[in-house]
Amino acid sequence: MNKPESISGGSTTRKSILYNGKTLAQNRADMYNTSKETGHYDGLKELKLKKSDPITFEKIFSKLRAGVVNARETAKKIAASPIVEQEGELCFTLYNTAGDCVCTSTGIIIHVGTMGMCIKYMIENNWEEDPTVNPGDMFTNNDCQIGNVHPCDIATIVPIFHEGKLVAWVGGVTHVIDTGAAGPGSMSNGQVQRFGDGVQITCRKTGINDKPMRDWQHEVQRNVRTPKYWILDERTRIAGDHMIRDIVEEVIADVGVETFLQFTSEIIEDGRRGLVKRINDILIPGKYNTVAFVDVPYMHEDVHVPSPFAKVDTIMHAPCTITVKPEATWRLDFEGCSRWGWHTYNANPTAFTSGIWVMMTQTVVPTERINDGSLFASEFRLPKGTWTNPNDRRTAHADAWHFLVSSWSSLWRAVSRGYFSRGYLEEVNAGNSNPCNWMQGGGFNQEEEIHAVNSFETAACGTGACAMKDGLNHAAAIWNPEGDMGDCEIWELAEPLLYMGRAIKSNTGGYGKYRGGMGFETLRMVHNSADWCMFFMGNGYMNSDWGLHGGYPSATGYRFEAHNTGLHKRIAEGKSLPMGHDWNPDEPDYENHLEPGAIVKRDSQCITTEAIFENGDLYLNYLRGGPGFGDPLDRTIENIEKDLNDVVLLEEYAIKIYGAKFTKDAEGYYTVDADATRARQAEMRKERLSRGTPVKEWMKGERQNILDKKASVQVQQMFASSFELSQPFLDKFRAFWSLPSDWLVTEKELGVPAFGAKHHMDLSQMPDVKTVVLVEE
Amino acid sequence: MSTTYTKKQVAELIDGVLDWETVRRMLFMPKDPLRFSMYIEVLQERAKWEDKIVLPLAPHLYIVEDKNGDIVNKCDCGYVFGPYTENWKLNALIYVRDSVEKFNQVYPKLMSPDAEWQVYREYYCPECACQHDVEAPVPWYPVIHDFEPDIAEFYKWVGLKVPKGIAA
């Protein structure tokens, strides 16, 4: 169990809407506190229903689970947004009366927790009394201050009643294409505060008698750029919620309300036990220490932000110690994280803890039985003031994923160490890529309508290498287990951007005995748009996806954009065009197919804000690869040869990394000479020995660099930010490098603005607000 | 319910040549509790030394019980990286990629990190030069002690006798 304080029940003057006669808050407090005291959800030391009538128990689960999955599959056909309809960026979840998840559909299951937090917030802030909770009501939420991941995930929550009493809640969420933020696109990054992050809805009652309210619809549709998509997304959510409500009513008619309510607690305790069993089955007790970093290069001229104090280069720091305990529960401690920032990559505890299950269901708990029971078998420590748990209500969150996925990739790498040691090699994943680039923009589209785009091609990046096979090419995203790059033809309908090529991106997967999965690249030409802007969003100066056990990290990103290309003229004249691969960015070829005077940007600046793109301009959407596993010199000759023939490995790097000696025939087929390659690899081992330095020797030099404060400002700022928030991290740092007890680096001495470091104001300081805390802070 | 596999299948898994059907079964069926014992058995038969493998750490790196009963980190080649409770990396060789030229040996320049932001640290065995790990931190970052297994507890989980040299 977590260690937040016990919660108290609150009061209401209305007649109870629960069968047990309690207020919603008292009901939740009793369940929560009993769970905390006993270590079993709702105090259920025994699963009486499951034990006495297992068939009924399983039947209820199967019907509900099938119901939420079916609702998702059916409802998504209502949506017009390719993000929902093509990529499946939606999810439906059933909750018990306390707002704890009973079962969830497939899809973006991070929202198991986010919608649950929305319900808990309504419970704790007495929505029961005002604005009241009645049959046929709908509540809408996208507020990141109470748990949403980013504002573009819009949740519609419907209470489910039986005989006038609340028996459950159902929530549906879709990732909308635009939220009316300062910049177009669902995950834009020009804004630096909540106030530019788009429309913000706080558990608002938006429907009665099963119909959305007119004032709500009139207001919200004009607050976003893409009202058509917005309306259909809302209908998707409502339809799915109501389908699930029907299923619940059928189950109650079948087994009775008492059994149903009993089930909605027992299944959560069952989920808790399921995680404990799985940890015991697959991991090794002990401590797993890991870390991730992400670059935030805001000093660049192509990053335009409204506030001067945001114009700084910073680095996200996410250290984590996972402790697997003897009783097979675990604790994830993020002590030492850097401070939240003036950008849109901040997270919050619910996004963090709930999101982890998106990743964990792909590895530790690959089961349909995921529910809030897992949370009750886990402890999270997310220090207040860090990017994982901001202590200021102004923070922006539009692209919270940018930081979240990087920190989770490191967690996947960490638990994979346990899998490897235990012999479950098939489960090892060096850690997936940070799925990016996020190609976004907006203006007038080909239908002459105000429009915004956010390409979800990034849902199909390379996966990390396994301990017994290569990672999958252009296959998945850590945030959606059902990743799909989508069809070119559909994207061309949704975006005024023609495909000039779509190809596997060579050399993007990290090298290793088993290499990471390759990413891919699409070259898009702006076409039939007006007043059009686009921007880039991803990693470029750093890579958050390390390799495992000697494998290399995947390649970092880079940016290619071209303006004043003359492509329309070249097309008319039948001249060559830039198409397909950007094979090796160090030997660029696209430029050979542009007219003189073209303006090209090729660099590591992978975060930009809105830039004007005219028709005929080019944008390279490069989707990243996954990291590698094991020493590259252990890679089989056959696999090296295959990589060359599959064109996923550039010749130059086959030689540099694998020592490959090969020939290429007239038809371009490669043959690797095994003996010559092994001989070269033997030389490469000797070269390693001659260039290597004993670590303890090297540490003396690095220690001196620290004493001399020899590092870039952004690196020092990252440490200064973590030191200020974490004495334990500072102590460990000083101890490791044997530094004087008073050694320190501070943001003040670096001369960079540190707004928010000393002065901040949390949501909990707002009047009449009761925040819900489920983690250690 | 769990599935059982043969020692031959576990050996093929280690070698990366196990048929995909079996790998798929391993992935979606409940885990086989005997896997660890079989895994150790296969690795032990392949080891070039007599020390008893206690826990594999990486493809060429193990925690072993040596002939004196000491529990140490040991490479395939026989090099000992120190007691198992210590970070083996501290006794390795390191090569830091911290310049455009050094990164360009690994990736095209535009697909490599910027050394002002990030470095790669490659850890080699001082004897056989095996690359056991690659870190990708910012400069100054302490060497990471990736994994501190609670071997005593783990051996209880899998029903094996805890080696004497393991602290309770």
- State CA A190 to chain mean position distance: 19
**Residue of A284, A362, A591, A743 to mutate, interface with B, max B Cβ within 10 Å:** A284
Residues 684-723 of A with CB under 8 A from B: 685-686, 688-689, 691-696, 698-699, 702, 705-706, 711-712, 714-715, 718-719
Question: What are the tokens at A748?
Answer: 């003040």
**Residue of B107, B112, B141, B166 to mutate, interface with A, max A Cβ within 10 Å:** B107
Tally of domains within chain B: 1
A216–chain B nearest CA distance, Å: 46
Does residue B126 fall inside a structural domain? no
Question: DSSP code of A407?
Answer: H
Q: Measured at the alpha carbon of residue A508, what is the angle toward residues A507 and A509, in degrees to the nearest 5? A: 100
Peptide bond into A543 cis (omega under 30): no
- Measured between beta carbons, which residues in chain B are less than 8 angstroms from residue A705? 139-140
Encode pLDDT of A408-443 as tens digits. Answer: 889 999 999 999 999 999 999 998 888 899 999 999
- Identify the CA nearest to A623 among candidates A344, A436, A359: A436
Sign of CA dihedral A182, A445, A300, A297: positive
- Measured between beta carbons, which residues in chain B are less than 8 angstroms from residue A633? 130-131
Encode pLDDT of B30-88 as tens digits. Answer: 999 999 999 999 999 999 999 999 999 999 999 999 999 999 999 999 999 999 999 99
Which are the contacts of A744, defined by CB distance < 8 A and separation ≥ 6?
Answer: A723, A730
pTM: predicted TM-score of the whole model, two decimal places: 0.95
Q: Measured at the alpha carbon of residue A141, what is the angle toward residues A136 and A142, in degrees to the nearest 5? A: 155
Positions in chain A whose pLDDT score sits under 70: 1-13
- Measured between beta carbons, which residues in chain B are less than 8 angstroms from residue A588? none
- State CA A636 to chain mean position distance: 34
pLDDT of residue A106: 84
Query: Rounded CA gap, A534 and A610, in Å?
Result: 5
Mean pLDDT along residues B104-108: 96
Which are the contacts of A436, defined by CB distance < 8 A and separation ≥ 6?
Answer: A402, A458, A461, A537, A538, A539, A557, A606, A623, A624
Q: What is the DSSP string of A582-619?
A: ---TTS--GGGGS-TT-EEEEES------EE--TT-EE
Question: What are the tokens at B143?
Answer: 């060497």
Q: Which domain holds residue B34?
A: 1-46
Check CB contact under 8 Å for B123 and A695: yes
Does residue B8 fall inside a structural domain? yes
Does residue B17 fall inside a structural domain? yes
> Touching check for A603 and chain B: CB below 8 Å?
yes
DSSP H or E run through A331: strand A330-333
Name the closest residue on chain A to residue B112, using Cα atoms: A556
Residues 73-112 of A with CB under 8 A from B: none
Q: Would you tell me how many other CB atoms lie within 10 Å of the CB of residue A173?
A: 32
Question: Are A204 and A141 a contacting pair, CB within 8 Å?
Answer: yes
- Please tell me which of the candidates B56, B106, B137 has its beta carbon nearest to residue A421: B56
- State CA B75 to chain mean position distance: 9
- Measured between beta carbons, which residues in chain B are less than 8 angstroms from residue A712? 116-117, 139
> Exposed, middle or buried by CB within 10 Å (0-12, 13-18, 19+), for B140?
buried
pLDDT of residue A1: 38
**Residue of A280, A290, A291 to mutate, interface with B, max B Cβ within 10 Å:** A291
Q: What is the DSSP string of A216-283?
A: HHHHHHTTSS-HHHHHHHHHHHHHHHHHHHHHHHHHHHHH-HHHHHHHHHHHHHHHHHHHHHHHHHH-
- Measured between beta carbons, which residues in chain A are less than 8 angstroms from residue B108? 507, 555, 584-586, 650
B69–chain A nearest CA distance, Å: 21
- Please tell me which of the candidates B106, B111, B134 has its beta carbon nearest to residue A546: B134
pLDDT of residue A9: 66
Peptide bond into A131 cis (omega under 30): yes
3-state secondary structure A667-718: CCCEEECHHHHHHHHHHHHHHHHHHCEEHHHHHHHHHHHHHCCCCCHHHHHH
- Measured between beta carbons, which residues in chain A are less than 8 angstroms from residue B137? 291, 293
- Measured between beta carbons, which residues in chain B are less than 8 angstroms from residue A543? 113, 118, 136
pLDDT of residue A277: 94
- Identify the CA nearest to A375 among candidates A585, A100, A636, A163: A100
Query: Rounded CA gap, A377 and A276, in Å?
Result: 7
Question: What are the tokens at A331?
Answer: 């604790």
Name the closest residue on chain A to residue B90, using Cα atoms: A695
Question: Are A370 and A377 a contacting pair, CB within 8 Å?
Answer: no
B57–chain A nearest CA distance, Å: 6
Question: What are the tokens at A326?
Answer: 């003897």
